[in-house]
């Protein structure tokens, strides 16, 4: 049963390059500064979380999300500061922990690290890792990160980094660092998260949300059997909101299609058709439309999956700063209150 009073709502950006009003593109530096402004806006409007992705590609502006989050922390007071995701497999767990402990101190305990294997692979050759070690890298580094998170002296050895002998890591945090594992939808990933006692956020980027219900049930069962905490599950999905329904659909189709088609060139996907896009916006994983349309669909997903948090991925493709900021405003002032109202009414009717 969804507890509306504890329900959290976030926004996430993967750092897409922002468009100017004339259709030209801003620089990566300008796009990064725009994300900081969006984080400040989201905080003022009462959104619970902002997540920033890590990518090492020309079509995204952010390769160091914790640096951008630190900038956001300096102009905000309440909003939680998350990654979406940190690619632990191609990073050093010690440095990851140090960076997020630093962010946590700067933000007075608002840092969240979301650990993942990464849906893109550019970071692996960039930092000297072999993709054939994809699974082993994440498993080993997650094991070390879990030891570091306890903030005791660490003794550890593995295959992919030098061993540690009774090693302290600094700075220490004032409370335990909030940690999520990003899940793409495999049973192994769900069970791994439960084993380590971490919170889970599921990326639902295609198809109906209903198909993820078995994974959430598996997480609950696995955590209970392993005597680990059972946390409310979070999801994130793409979307776009505008005052006008038709405008929202057209802007989203132009930008989300361009984004997915560009990625598909390296993954063997066929170009997104209008029929495919329309199906995703009606019953799938794209939350697109005016505030009422989006609120109804988000409320259904939250209720169906019994979620504790919903993050909307905004800015996909090359949207303008005005489009991105207006979407955040509508999400905070129209969609979130309406979702809570729908869920409360549904609960009262039971």
The rounded distance, in Å, linking the Cα atoms of 63 and 239 is 22
Instruction: Indicate left, alpha or beta for 128 from its phi (over 0: left) and psi (-120 to 50: alpha).
Output: left
User: What is the three-class DSSP state of 166?
Assistant: strand
| DSSP β-ladder status, 164-167 and 154-156 | antiparallel
Mean pLDDT of 293-317: 97
pLDDT attached to residue 186: 87
What is the rounded average pLDDT of the residues 318-336? 98
- Concatenating the DSSP letter of every residue in 218-241 gives HHHHHHHHTT---PPPEEEEEEEE
Q: What is the mean pLDDT of residues 219-244?
A: 97
pTM, rounded to two decimals: 0.96
CB-CB contact of 290 with 243 (8 Å): yes
Average pLDDT over every residue of 170-188? 94
* pLDDT tens-digit readout, 266-295: 778 899 999 999 999 999 999 999 999 999
Confidence label for 320 from pLDDT (cuts 50, 70 and 90): very high
Share of the chain above pLDDT 90, in %: 93
Nearest to 277 by CA among 265, 269, 286: 286
d(CA 317, CA 129): 29
DSSP letter at 16? Answer: B
Q: Which region holds residue 289: left if phi is over 0, alpha if psi is between -120 and 50, else beta?
A: left
Q: What is the CA radius of gyration of the chain?
A: 20
Structure confidence at residue 119 (pLDDT): 78
Q: 3-state DSSP: the chain helix, strand, coil percent, rounded to 5?
A: 50, 15, 35
Segment among 61-65, 187-191, 322-326 with least mean pLDDT: 187-191
Give pLDDT tens digits for 23-34.
999 999 999 999
Which regions of the chain does DSSP assign to beta strands (E)? 8-13, 49-52, 80-83, 86-87, 111-116, 154-156, 164-167, 178-183, 199-203, 234-241, 287-289, 309-313
Query: In this predicted model, what pLDDT tens digit does every residue of 43-66 receive, in sequence order?
Result: 999 999 999 999 999 999 999 999
Nearest one of 182, 191, 186 to 116, comparing CA atoms: 182
The pLDDT confidence band at residue 128, using thresholds 50, 70 and 90, is very high
**What residues are paired with 87 via a beta bridge?**
116
């Amino acid at each position: 049963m969804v507890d509306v009073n504890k329900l959290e709502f976030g926004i996430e950006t993967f750092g897409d390059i922002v468009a100017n009003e004339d259709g030209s593109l801003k620089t990566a530096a300008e796009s990064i500064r725009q994300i900081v402004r969006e984080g400040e806006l989201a905080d003022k409007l009462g959104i619970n979380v902002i997540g920033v992705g890590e990518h090492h590609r020309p079509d995204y502006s952010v390769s160091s999300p914790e640096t951008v989050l630190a900038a956001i922390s300096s102009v905000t007071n309440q909003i939680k500061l998350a990654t979406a995701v940190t690619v632990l497999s191609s990073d050093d767990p010690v440095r990851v922990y140090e960076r997020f402990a630093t962010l946590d101190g700067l933000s007075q305990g608002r840092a969240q690290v979301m650990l993942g294997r990464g849906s893109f692979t550019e970071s692996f050759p960039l930092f000297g890792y072999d993709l054939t070690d994809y699974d082993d890298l994440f498993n080993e580094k997650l094991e070390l990160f879990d030891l570091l998170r306890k903030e005791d002296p660490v003794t550890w050895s593995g295959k992919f980094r030098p061993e540690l002998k009774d090693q302290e890591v600094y700075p220490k945090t004032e409370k335990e660092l909030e940690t999520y594992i990003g899940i793409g939808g495999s049973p192994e990933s769900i069970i791994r998260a439960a084993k380590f006692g971490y919170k889970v956020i599921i990326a639902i980027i295609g198809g109906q949300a209903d198909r993820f219900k078995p994974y959430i049930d598996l997480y609950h069962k696995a955590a209970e059997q392993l005597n680990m905490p059972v946390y409310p599950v979070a999801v994130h999905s793409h979307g776009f909101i505008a005052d006008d329904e038709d405008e929202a659909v057209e802007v989203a189709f132009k930008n989300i299609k361009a984004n997915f088609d560009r990625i598909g060139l390296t993954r063997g996907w066929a170009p997104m058709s209008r029929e495919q896009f329309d199906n995703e916006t009606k019953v799938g994983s794209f939350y697109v439309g005016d505030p009422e349309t989006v609120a109804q669909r988000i409320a259904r997903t939250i209720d169906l999956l019994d979620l504790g948090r919903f993050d909307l991925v905004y800015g996909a493709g090359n949207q303008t700063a005005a489009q991105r900021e207006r979407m955040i405003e509508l999400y905070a002032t129209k969609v979130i209150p309406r979702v809570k109202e729908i869920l409360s009414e549904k609960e009262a009717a039971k």
